């Protein structure tokens, strides 16, 4: 069984693992499940997530972590007309992911603009300034393709909600007069499609485990996957009960124990019989 598992709110909350989830994922891996971890966060590189998850006892490899940054890099690398230069308005992990697939990366500066970037990629940018925003918008007006890692309006931090990638995307869209040509992250289907195909599975055979109706569950619907909503993150039971059809999960789990019971029902009969 393929599990596409969100991170923040499902595997951990802040710096603490969600009780019971790392051990459950370890049992799932031992039973033969393929687990790919997916997140809209484009700021960090996969190696940083690998270290964090490994410290929590979560079964993981670098190739089983697909962030919005990684999915964006793979999408650009797969383009027939691969861009020679990409301008990045985002974090260090995003730039590193693009370099990993052989792309030339420039910053949103006068020097970067002079390199005639063919693509502008926008993620959450903690170093955003008026000048960086203006240069990125200028590159788009000059004809660069506009790609957003995601459109999350806020970013969950330890001390509250900070402006997310979607806030930066909106600002650059307003300044450039253009909406993004492509959005990779949830609720768009690209992230889940990339994650499933990276391990050789069709996305419609996956089970998505997430904590947000408007991103995780909607994206699951869009790729035809089953979905489990965890109530360990941002969504309450009342919100889940009031969900619209496109946001309604196939199952709801309040904790790791309930999630294990749901996954047991979804696991193929042959796998269950061999336990």
Of the residues 6, 152, 211, 216, only one is catalytic, namely 6
In 3D, which of 181, 192, 48, 45 has the Cα closest to residue 121? 181
In the annotation, is 125 catalytic?
A: no
Of the residues 8, 125, 211, 216, only one is catalytic, namely 8
Q: Give the C-alpha distances (Å, rounded to integers) separating 41 from 63, 103, 108, 172, 238.
A: 16, 20, 20, 18, 26
Residue 115 CA to residue 113 CA, distance in Å, equals 5
In the annotation, is 8 catalytic?
A: yes
What is the rounded end-to-end Cα distance, in angstroms, of the chain? 14
Q: What angle do CA 217, 40, 141 make, to 5 degrees?
A: 115
At a CB cut-off of 8 Å and minimum separation 6, what does 204 contact? 223, 224, 225
Q: Which active-site residues does the annotation give?
A: 6, 8
């Amino acid at each position: 069984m393929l599990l596409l598992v969100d991170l923040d709110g499902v595997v951990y909350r802040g710096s603490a693992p969600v009780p019971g989830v790392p051990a459950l994922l370890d049992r799932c891996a031992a039973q033969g499940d393929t687990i790919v971890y997916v997140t809209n966060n484009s700021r960090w590189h996969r190696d940083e997530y690998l270290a964090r998850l490994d410290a929590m006892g979560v079964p993981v490899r670098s190739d089983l972590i697909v962030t919005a940054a990684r999915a964006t890099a793979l999408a650009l690398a797969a383009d027939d007309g691969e861009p020679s230069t990409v301008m990045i308005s985002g974090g260090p992990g995003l730039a590193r992911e693009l370099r990993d697939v052989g792309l030339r990366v420039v910053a949103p500066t006068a020097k970067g603009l002079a390199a005639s970037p063919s693509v502008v990629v926008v993620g959450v940018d903690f170093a955003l300034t008026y000048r960086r925003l203006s240069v990125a918008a200028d590159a788009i007006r000059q004809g660069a393709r506009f790609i957003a890692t995601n459109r999350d309006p806020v970013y969950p931090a330890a001390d509250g909600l900070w402006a997310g990638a979607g806030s930066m995307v909106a600002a650059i869209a307003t300044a450039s007069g253009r909406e993004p040509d492509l959005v990779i992250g949830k609720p768009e289907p690209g992230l889940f499609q990339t994650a499933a195909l990276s391990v050789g599975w069709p996305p419609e055979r996956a089970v998505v485990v997430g904590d947000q109706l408007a991103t995780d569950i909607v994206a699951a619907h869009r790729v035809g996957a089953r979905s489990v909503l965890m109530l360990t993150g941002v969504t309450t039971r009342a919100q889940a009960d009031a969900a619209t059809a496109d946001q309604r999960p196939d199952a709801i789990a309040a904790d790791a124990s309930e999630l294990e019971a749901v996954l047991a029902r979804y696991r193929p009969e042959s796998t269950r019989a061999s336990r």
